């Protein structure tokens, strides 16, 4: 691969830097064994940035993100920032990255590895072979709608958030879902609450029209209410191929889907912008989980979600399919061999920490490269 691809690394807070340390080892391994050399840049984000600059991301780091070929992100947040004003909170750094990079399509796959059937709280027959993709709209909806905040409402204190979507915003994320479905099992569930919300009715109408007029008749489209979808994800997740939904429902449903895989520590994600004339997209890759303050600093975090996010980056941003497969296979093989972090531990397996899991994955990569 050309050596001029820039990768911006933003480890963040809590377990973010811990799982990131394992990615650094794989980045080094890729340079040494596969001649994949990135120009690496690193920046502060979240609480780590707030501690130094009193803001969750600086303009310089934001510019680095806009200039990079891909951004790799750990996690942000922590209880010590609970009383920081919203615009400077750690989470605001991530939201700014998503908005200013215009990363409207958040791909959150939930894939169940056979070796982890026993780690899920769902019955093995319900989840065996599960491979679903949630496409979450990421730059609009109630996360960003205006007006928002405190109001004087006829002398009464009131607080509002606004759910708002333009037609173009719904169309572009639905198109990503249809295009992805075509490369998978050609089924899309569009999820909203059209029974209650105006934006739900609009979402459903817009997706239906795009399906009919956008050349997507080969894709099977179904509509589902978000509350039912949460239930169906527990009852029979294998009915789904691709789910497309708004920013808030996507946040909730992807955490729910994570548990079928055994742990939040297994779920990667890719956040993508629109393709330019060369087919290149701005992109940020991050695990779905957060900074996990309850286990931070104890070498307990599962680095798999972070490493699988790195694999998604190799695949989606750089077309390095073989190398992405290698990382994924190495993780699968380690799980098959019974090596587990605490979150996915099962009787008869060997428990390791974050670094131990990294050691095992690197050893497996060595085997795979021969
Ligand atoms: N993308 C992000 O940076 C992101 C995502 C979600 C939450 N957050 C932030 O993280 C902080 C904590 O939030 P939370 O506790 O609701 O969610 P969380 O995802 O951090 O943790 C939820 C639970 O899952 C466990 N867990 C998460 N990742 C794990 C891993 N890799 N290995 C093993 N166990 C893991 C945690 O120990 C915890 O019990 C908050 O400040 C929140 O805003 C950030
Ligand atoms: C940290 C927070 C802003 C974020 C979200 O709500 O989108 C997180 O929960 C996620 O799922 O990426
Ligand atoms: Mg979330």
User: Could you give all domains of the chain from N- to C-terminal order, each with its CATH number?
Assistant: 1-107+267-370 (3.40.718.10), 131-260 (3.40.718.10)
How confident is the model at residue 1, as a pLDDT? 55
What is the structure's pLDDT at 43? Answer: 98
**Which residue has the CA at smallest separation from atom 12 of ligand 2?**
288
Per cent of the chain over pLDDT 70 is 99
255 is annotated as an active-site residue? yes
ipTM above 0.90, yes or no: yes
Find tokens 């001029």 and name the residue.
4
**What residues does 162 pair with on adjacent strands?**
145
11 assigned ligand-binding residue: no
For 197-214, write each residue's pLDDT tens digit. Answer: 999 999 999 999 999 999
Q: pLDDT class for 2, splitting at 50, 70, 90? A: very low
Surrounding ion ligand 3 within 5 Å at CB are 251
Place of tokens 């949630």: 134
The protein residue with its alpha carbon nearest to ligand 2, atom 9, reads: 251
- The count of residues in the chain is 370
What CA–CA distance (Å, rounded) separates 52 from 47?
9
User: Alpha-carbon distance 242 to 222, whole Å?
Assistant: 10
Is 204:236 a contact under the CB 8 Å cutoff? Answer: no
Report the nearest-CA residue for atom 7 of ligand 2. Answer: 251
* Structural contact between residues 237 and 130, judged by C-beta atoms closer than 8 angstroms: yes
Pocket test for ligand 2, best of 87, 251, 309 (most atoms within 8 A of CB): 251
pTM reported for the whole predicted model: 0.96
Which atom of ligand 2 is nearest the CA belonging to 254?
Answer: 11
| Residue 13 labelled as part of a binding site | no
pLDDT digits (tens, 9 = 90+) for 66-114: 999 999 999 999 999 999 999 999 999 999 999 999 999 999 999 999 9
Residue 251 beta carbon below 6 angstroms from any ligand 2 atom: yes
Helix%, strand%, coil% for the chain, nearest 5: 50, 20, 30
Catalytic residue among 50, 193, 225, 246: 193
Q: What is the pLDDT of residue 262?
A: 84
């Amino acid at each position: 691969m050309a050596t001029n691809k820039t990768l911006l690394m933003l480890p963040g807070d809590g377990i973010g830097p811990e799982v990131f340390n394992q990615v650094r080892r794989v980045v080094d391994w890729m340079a040494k064994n596969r001649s994949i050399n990135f120009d690496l840049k690193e920046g502060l984000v979240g609480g780590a940035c707030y501690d130094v600059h009193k803001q969750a991301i600086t303009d310089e780091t934001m510019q680095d993100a806009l200039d990079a070929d891909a951004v790799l992100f750990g996690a942000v947040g922590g209880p010590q920032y609970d009383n920081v004003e919203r615009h400077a909170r750690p989470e605001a750094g991530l939201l700014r990255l998503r908005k200013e990079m215009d990363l409207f399509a958040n791909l959150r796959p939930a894939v169940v590895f056979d070796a982890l059937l026993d780690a899920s709280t769902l019955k093995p027959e319900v989840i065996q072979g599960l491979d679903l993709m949630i496409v979450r709209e990421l730059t609009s909806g109630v996360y960003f709608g205006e007006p928002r905040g405190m109001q004087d409402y006829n002398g009464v204190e009131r607080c509002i958030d606004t759910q708002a979507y333009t037609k173009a915003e719904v169309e572009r994320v639905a198109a990503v879902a249809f295009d992805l479905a075509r490369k998978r099992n050609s089924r899309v569930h569009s999820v909203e609450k059209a029974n209650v919300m105006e934006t739900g009715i609009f979402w459903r109408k817009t997706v239906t029209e795009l399906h009919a007029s956008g050349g997507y008749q080969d894709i099977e489209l179904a509509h589902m209410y978000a509350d039912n979808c949460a239930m169906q994800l527990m009852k029979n997740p294998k009915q789904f191929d691709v789910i497309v939904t708004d920013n808030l429902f996507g946040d909730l449903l992807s955490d729910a889907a994570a548990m079928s895989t055994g742990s939040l520590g297994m779920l990667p994600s890719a956040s993508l912008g629109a393709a330019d004339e060369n087919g290149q997209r701005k992109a940020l890759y991050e695990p779905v989980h957060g900074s996990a303050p309850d286990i931070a600093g104890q070498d307990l975090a599962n680095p798999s979600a972070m490493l699988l996010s790195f694999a998604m980056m190799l695949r989606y941003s750089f077309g390095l399919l073989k190398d992405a497969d290698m990382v994924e296979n190495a993780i699968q093989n380690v799980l098959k061999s019974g090596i587990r972090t605490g979150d996915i531990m099962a009787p008869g397996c060997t428990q390791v920490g974050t670094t131990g899991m990294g050691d095992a994955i690197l050893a497996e990569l060595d085997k795979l490269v021969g």
